[in-house]
């Protein structure tokens, strides 16, 4: 058996666009500038939708924020969709302690928001310019806060042979999702069957977009032995 021995398949958005238009019955020779602009817009809208659908593991990264005594609120990069797990680093050698998210309502219920101590919670204020607030406020014994964030996908551009900010396993979902969105514009009669195809491809990719870790569920039975 002879195989390529390579793992370089990563088509540009332009190539994916041609394939998507083929799926709706528009040949490459018939494409105009407006077809390409529609594809660029549809792709970016789709990536935005995917960020809302859930945590895309390839878009998760670890951020480190130095802590300042008495400072409760810290700015967050505007490309952050949501903050995930967060933990405080302190001591020498450094030790990590996880902290938990709270809602705006719970944070508002704290009577002394200036109280200093070891932070145990954070409130992520999801504004256009987002920020997080720690409580209790760092007292100076903590070195930094580290948190995982889901960041938005990079812009999709159709020219200059640019590729997409998605992994290999999601390429089919991209192509079918784009074909469905383009069909709603250029071939409405094909939109319904293509939506079914797009949904199936997305679900296949989403089902494997998880961490393969063990999970344990145990009932609280201590009351039976008192």
Q: What is the pLDDT of residues 161-217, one digit of tens each?
A: 999 999 999 999 999 999 999 999 999 999 999 999 999 999 999 999 988 777 666
93-145 per-position pLDDT tens digit: 999 999 999 999 999 999 999 999 999 999 999 999 999 999 999 999 999 99
Beta bridge partners of 43: none
**Distance separating alpha carbons of residues 171 and 163, to the nearest angstrom:** 11
User: pTM for the whole thing?
Assistant: 0.87
Least Cα distance to 150 among 206, 77, 75, 67 occurs for: 77
Collapsing DSSP to helix, strand or coil, 78 comes out as: coil
């Amino acid at each position: 058996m002879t195989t390529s021995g390579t793992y370089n398949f990563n088509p540009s958005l332009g190539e994916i666009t041609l394939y998507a238009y083929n799926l709706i019955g528009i040949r490459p020779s018939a494409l105009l500038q407006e077809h390409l602009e529609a594809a660029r817009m549809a792709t970016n809208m789709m990536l935005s939708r995917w960020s809302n659908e859930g945590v895309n593991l390839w878009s998760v990264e670890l951020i480190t924020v130095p802590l300042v005594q008495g400072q409760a609120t810290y700015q967050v990069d505007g490309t952050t969709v949501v903050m995930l797990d967060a933990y405080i680093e302190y001591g020498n050698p450094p030790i990590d302690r996880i902290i938990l998210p709270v809602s705006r309502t719970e944070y508002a219920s704290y009577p002394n928001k200036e109280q200093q101590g070891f932070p145990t919670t954070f409130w992520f204020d999801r504004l256009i310019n987002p920020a997080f607030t720690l409580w209790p406020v760092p007292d100076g014994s903590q070195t930094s806060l580290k948190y995982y964030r889901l960041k938005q996908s990079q812009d999709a551009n159709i020219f200059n042979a640019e590729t997409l900010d998605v992994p290999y396993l999601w390429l089919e979902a991209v192509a079918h999702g784009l074909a469905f969105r383009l069909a709603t514009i250029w071939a409405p009669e094909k939109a319904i069957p293509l939506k079914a195809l797009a949904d199936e491809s997305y679900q296949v990719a989403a089902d494997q977009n998880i961490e393969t870790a063990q999970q344990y569920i145990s009932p609280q039975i201590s009351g039976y032995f008192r």
